[in-house]
A and B are shown apart, each in its own frame.
Chain A
Amino acid sequence: MATLRLENLTKHFGGLVAVNNVTFEVAEQEILGIIGPNGAGKTTLTSLVAGTLQVSGGRIVFEGKDVTKSPAHLRVRMGISRTFQTVRPLKDFTALENIMVGALFARGESLGKAKERAYQVCQLLEFDRAERYPDRLTVFELKKLEIARAIVSDPKILFLDEIMAGLNFEEMKQMINIVRSLRDRGVTICVIEHVMSVINELTDRVIVLDRGEIIAQGPYQEVSQNRRVIAAYLGEEG
């Protein structure tokens, strides 16, 4: 059984169709890449699955259950988690407290347990600035914080929205290792990414979105040769 299945998922913003009739499945422990030019609907798709946006049409089936109408906070508790494309730390909390929030509410843990768990996640990510406030963290640390907050709830599926943006080569390598280790721990992962070398290295399969529609899917090597994909990235002439 697929971990996540999207059936004819559609989202309009007024007259604009951001996601159009998208259907695909994500298998358990798969790393799926979601790529496409800016404005293709990748982040909208993430928000629809996470429940922070309501669908205009179609169904979202998670582990066999229809979650299309479930509110966002319940979906996290079920095991759907995501990071935000632009990092969104809670500025009044330390990094550790930021991470604790997910353990407290998505898992319903006590303060003590949540703190312990937050520390464990920090260790897993080799994040050693837990006591700092977000305004004193580097971009890389903030990206790690985003991931920490998303995985502290022990998700079954994790959407990583452009976690490589703004990172240098070394940091990207570390990030790739983190994503792999998460998959090895049993998490199904969808990576939204513009850095194609990362997609190439990391993903089992990719889906290419353009103007809200799936225009190609398959292994990256194959998809990257696809004429429609090249056209979408480079313009109609390509």
Chain B
Amino acid sequence: MKTLSIIAVLALAIILPFIADIYLIHVVSTIMIFMCLALSWDMMLRTGQLSFGTAGFFGLGAYAAIIAVDDFNVNPVMSIFVGAVFAALTSFGLGIAVLKLREMYFAITTLALTSVFTVLARNLSDLTGGAAGKILFNAIFDGDPKKTYWLILSFTIVVIVLSEIFERTRVKYAISSIRNDELVAKSSGINIFKYLLIVFVITSAIQGAAGAIYAQQYAFVEPDSTFSANFLLLPIAMALVGGIYSTIGPIVGALVLGFTSEYLKLLMPYGHLIIYGIIIVLTVIFLRKGVYGTIMEKIRSK
């Protein structure tokens, strides 16, 4: 039953470009990018570390990809790997310093990193185009939205599989133990720092790749919009609404909030953010474990 529904959803996702109009393809593409960000944020949260660096690594990946294509003639598809690797290397270096911190000190430091990246992007004008940003001359797949959609779908599947690996292998036992009780984790033989660093690097690479794809899709980067807090706050909202500490939660959250926000946008072009905000607040208050988490809890308590 479960396998069947997964195959059905996957099949639908693959054939969507043949049955949907350009508008829907675009909406679903964007939702999937945010879904990947939500998953990556949640994967870090599963270690107990609240990261506010999502937008920062997203932006780094976006810049790295556009610079790679424009200045180094890298193939656009390859530039996504460039974005991922650049974010991964940066997070590895920073992680060694930052992952000694915990709780709000870690959260605030990662938030500050995003500001640092933005300032660098604005001021390293020769490389980044400064405040005006940078335009991509060669759009990926010559701007074909269907091919871009499949690229994003493939990436999303990779992220979902990664998240499931985090859920089903010994990694789960390591990171959940760290989240629950670091003292016990240590005393059970878990190398806490190693796992935190691995997870930080992997999730940052996902964020970097997502940024790279997004930059390819929109064909420009600019400090304020590329490092926008949207790429932090929306994924967090999606994970919270869907349910944290799981793969299915952020997926559900991204779909629910993604489509709701599109629908509300059509309904009321200016006021939709208010409703959107209210939905998030209500979910966080009344469904503490998110939509999926609440359902699972009901099942477990039976």
Instruction: Tell me the A residues contacting B by CB distance below 8 Å.
Output: 50-52, 71-73, 76-77, 81-82, 84, 88, 90-93, 97, 100-102, 104-107, 110-111, 149, 153
Q: Which residues of B contact A71 (CB under 8 A)?
A: 186, 191
Instruction: Establish whether residues B173 and A101, one from each chain, have CB atoms under 8 Å apart when the complex forms.
Output: yes
Q: Which residues of B contact A111 (CB under 8 A)?
A: 169-170
| A92 CA to B300 CA, complexed, in Å | 12
Identify 25 residue pairs between A and B in the complex whose beta-carbon atoms are under 8 Å apart, listed by A's number. A52-B187, A72-B187, A73-B186, A73-B187, A73-B191, A76-B187, A76-B188, A84-B184, A88-B184, A90-B177, A90-B181, A90-B184, A92-B176, A92-B179, A92-B245, A101-B177, A101-B185, A102-B189, A104-B170, A105-B170, A105-B174, A105-B189, A105-B190, A111-B170, A153-B189
CB distance from A192 to the nearest CB of B (A): 15
Q: Which residues of B contact A91 (CB under 8 A)?
A: 180
If A105-B191, A106-B188, A111-B170 are given as contacts, then 12 extra A-B residue pairs at C-beta distance below 8 Å, sorted by A number, are A50-B187, A51-B186, A73-B187, A73-B188, A88-B183, A90-B176, A90-B184, A91-B180, A92-B245, A93-B180, A101-B177, A104-B173
- The total of interchain contacts (Cβ-Cβ below 8 angstroms) comes to 73
Instruction: Establish whether residues B181 and A106, one from each chain, have CB atoms under 8 Å apart when the complex forms.
Output: no
Q: Which residues of A contact B50 (CB under 8 A)?
A: none
**How many positions in chain B have a CB within 8 Å of any CB in the partner chain?**
20
| A90 CA to B189 CA, complexed, in Å | 15
| A82 CA to B184 CA, complexed, in Å | 10
| A92 CA to B174 CA, complexed, in Å | 12
Known A73-B190, A76-B189, A106-B189; contact A92-B184, beta-carbon cutoff 8 A: no
Q: Which residues of A contact B190 (CB under 8 A)?
A: 73, 101, 105
Instruction: Establish whether residues B180 and A97, one from each chain, have CB atoms under 8 Å apart when the complex forms.
Output: no
Indicate whether B45 reaches chain A with its CB closer than 8 angstroms.
no
Q: Which residues of A contact B189 (CB under 8 A)?
A: 73, 76-77, 102, 105-107, 153
Instruction: Tell me the B residues contacting A by CB distance below 8 Å.
Output: 169-170, 173-174, 176-177, 179-181, 183-192, 245
Q: Which residues of B contact A52 (CB under 8 A)?
A: 183, 186-187
| A105 CA to B180 CA, complexed, in Å | 16
Closest to A99 in B: B188
| A51 CA to B174 CA, complexed, in Å | 19
CB distance from B165 to the nearest CB of A (A): 12
Q: Which residues of A contact B176 (CB under 8 A)?
A: 90, 92-93
Q: Which residues of A contact B184 (CB under 8 A)?
A: 84, 88, 90, 101, 149
Instruction: Establish whether residues B186 and A72, one from each chain, have CB atoms under 8 Å apart when the complex forms.
Output: yes
